[in-house]
Amino acid sequence: MYGALWRVLPGPWWLRVLILVVIAAAIVYGLFFYVFPWVSNIVNPQDVTVG
């Protein structure tokens, strides 16, 4: 999979690395600001207290 992704991306190796870093940052941003808050509203953790 990674080899196929590497071959599909345009440009020299440094541009490919830059594109992959931007894509990874966008995925992490989307997870933290959209997916995780949405899931936290659906999944109610048990009220656990440490005594």
- Whether 32 maps to a domain, the answer reads yes
What pLDDT score was predicted for residue 10? 92
- Whether 10 maps to a domain, the answer reads yes
- Whether 42 maps to a domain, the answer reads no
Instruction: State pLDDT tens for residues 2-48.
Output: 888 888 999 999 999 999 999 999 999 999 999 998 888 887 777 66
- Whether 31 maps to a domain, the answer reads yes
Q: Which conformational region is residue 43 in: left (phi greater than 0), alpha (psi within -120 to 50 degrees), or beta?
A: beta
Domain range enclosing 8: 2-37
- Whether 49 maps to a domain, the answer reads no
- Whether 51 maps to a domain, the answer reads no
User: Strand, coil or helix: what is 35?
Assistant: helix
HSE of 40, CA atoms in CB hemisphere, 13 A: 7
Q: Provide the pLDDT confidence category of residue 51 given band limits of 50, 70 and 90.
A: low
- Whether 29 maps to a domain, the answer reads yes
Cα 19 from Cα 40, distance rounded (Å): 30
